[in-house]
Structure 1
Amino acid sequence: MAFTLAPTAASDGYRLEALDTVGSTNAQALDHARAGDSGKLWVVSKNQQSGRGRRGRAWQSPPGNLAATLLVVADYELKLASTLGFVAGLALADALDAVAPKGSISVGVDGGGNFGKGGSNRFELKWPNDVLASGAKLAGILLESTMLDEGRFAVAVGIGVNVVAHPDDLPYPATSLKKLGATCDAETLFLALSDAWAVNARLWGEGRGLAAIRNRWLERAAGIGSEVAVHIDNRVVRGIFETIDEDCRFVIRDHDGGTVTIAAGDVHFGAVASAGAI
């Protein structure tokens, strides 16, 4: 099966560049933006060789996994672009629901599952940019941007999914769709993702529908009400994960009863957070 766009995505004006092999789909998309591409371009591959994660970390992606980047070119307020990661998380979770087999998924030690809430979501969203299953990282989202002329900017919304394999040498649990029992391939998942993105992007509406996106995200959020530790630069903030605010920042209730609002950081839930292991 070849990569293809869902009819909803094609009708909304999205385009597709499918590559047999790529260094980084994000880098490829941003190169297109600098060369004048107008955006709404998906760059996809199942053989990404130089993927990146947050803070310059390597993203390991053996052949068969999905690497997909949507290029967005815009001139609206730049801070709104950061919320595209939440649109991407919802779109991916919706796509996974569509292609993965039904059944219960347990929560691992650092999964940050909805403790005490029945675990109704098989795929949960971990702030700011991970998708979890079985309490382990299944997918990551990375936003990268560059300024263009005439006040415009480009954002590469990168999505990497462990479809057939996952790395074993990580400081946190990881999993793959294959390990979870799913039989879909990268092409099938992308077809569903392109459809789900079109739906969620309409809801987001260049930020006008951010409140609705926030509400949907919270319904899938991992770890609300649980112990959390957030690593911010050279310090760790601990408390209870309470919510995300109207700008999608992470809100913790600390042990003194006050709230701490966090714009960026590495989040740890469950036993890892409680044990003070970071």
Structure 2
Amino acid sequence: MSDFALGPKAKAAGYRLVGFEEIGSTNNEALAAAAAGDPGGVWFASLHQTAGRGRRGRQWHSVPGNLAASLLIVPDASAELIATLGFVAGVALNRGLSAVLPSGTFRIGIDGADGADGRSRIALKWPNDVLADGQKLSGILLEASKTPDGRSAIVVGCGVNVVSAPEGTPYPATSLRALGVEKSAAEVFEALSDAWVEVFGLWDDGRGVAAVLELWRGSAAGLGAPVAVQQDGVIRRGIFETIDSSGRLIIRDDDGSRFPITAGDVHFGATASARS
């Protein structure tokens, strides 16, 4: 058993919860539930994940006390709109973390990756990371599956560095504890579960995607700053101008041309400005 509990809004909305002290992968548990015909609306949360994964098959390192949480949902929306659920998760994580953090905890991001207004305690890094003080605090992984009756099932995986952050990562990482914040994974999860209800309700099976993307832009890391995106060994540099209505990163290059990025590894500030 674990100490996890849903927040009051999540309980009222009918969400369910399965908690673990240790598990291989919360995303795998959610995918297995989808294959077994679960109708969705269930969280799988663990204090220790031994076989977690991130984007592009990367390993997600987690130690006991960090949060691994995956939500299974079966949304009634097109594939194009379902793809924007990562932004729903980002905004929800932003709100959830902000709810448990004392005011004034963070200074402006150290590498140009601060929020759009230059004052954000938490910033959202395209496409699916949450930064604190310019360092990675949380990551999001969406995976798709099918229910036995052929509907699209989506697993929204969230990992939060609560007590420890991995070393040697491509982008600097931090944890709540390293930032002087003593909160438990259970406290973070409860706040996240309630924040998800709010933002997912706004998304409204994709009808409110524009409003969600606008909230995401309001906390975006590096808007208006130099950005470098690496795609399959090729690096494209420019200015991070915005995300479009589909959630694509829009970069403006030196001659004013704008081009969309659908996937890639993003770096800001001095790293983005360096010429190789």
Q: TM-score, normalised by structure 1?
A: 0.95
Distance in 1 (CA, whole Å) between partners of 2:3 and 2:146 is: 33
Distance in 1 (CA, whole Å) between partners of 2:149 and 2:37 is: 12
Deviating above 4 A after TM superposition, structure 1's stretches of 4 or more consecutive aligned residues are none
Contact 1:244/1:250 (<8 A) preserved: yes
Q: Paired residue for 2:110?
A: 108
Q: Paired residue for 2:33?
A: 32
Residue type at the aligned position of 1:94: R
**1:184 CA displacement:** 0.9
Residue type at the aligned position of 2:100: V
**1:120 CA displacement:** 1.8
Contact 2:226/2:237 (<8 A) preserved: yes
1:1-278 aligned at under 5 Å gives the runs 2-103=3-104, 104-109=106-111, 112-114=113-115, 117=117, 119-276=118-275
**1:234 CA displacement:** 3.0
**1:149 CA displacement:** 4.2
Distance in 2 (CA, whole Å) between partners of 1:230 and 1:24 is: 29
**1:259 CA displacement:** 0.5
Distance in 2 (CA, whole Å) between partners of 1:75 and 1:122 is: 34
- The residue matched to 1:74 in structure 2 has which SS? coil
More displaced, 31-40 or 146-155? 146-155
Percent of residue pairs identical: 53
Residue type at the aligned position of 2:186: E
Considering only aligned residues, what root-mean-square deviation do their CA atoms show, in Å? 1.4
| Cα offsets for 1:92-117 (capped at 9, x unmatched) | 111111111211423123x62247x4
Contact 2:34/2:146 (<8 A) preserved: no
**1:81 CA displacement:** 1.4
Residue type at the aligned position of 1:9: A
More displaced, 42-51 or 166-175? 166-175
Contact 1:43/1:68 (<8 A) preserved: yes
Distance change (3 Å), C-alpha of 1:114 and 1:100:
closer
**1:235 CA displacement:** 1.5
Residue type at the aligned position of 1:47: H
- The residue matched to 1:188 in structure 2 has which SS? helix
Contact 2:46/2:69 (<8 A) preserved: yes
Residue type at the aligned position of 2:35: R
Contact 1:8/1:195 (<8 A) preserved: yes
Distance in 2 (CA, whole Å) between partners of 1:146 and 1:8 is: 27
Contact 1:101/1:181 (<8 A) preserved: no
Contact 1:162/1:177 (<8 A) preserved: yes
**1:171 CA displacement:** 2.6
More displaced, 7-16 or 185-194? 7-16
Residue type at the aligned position of 2:249: F
Q: TM-score, normalised by structure 2?
A: 0.96
Q: Which runs of 5+ in 1 are unaligned?
A: none
More displaced, 155-164 or 226-235? 226-235
**1:150 CA displacement:** 4.0
| Cα offsets for 1:60-105 (capped at 9, x unmatched) | 0000000000101234211211111111111111111111121142
Contact 1:23/1:51 (<8 A) preserved: yes
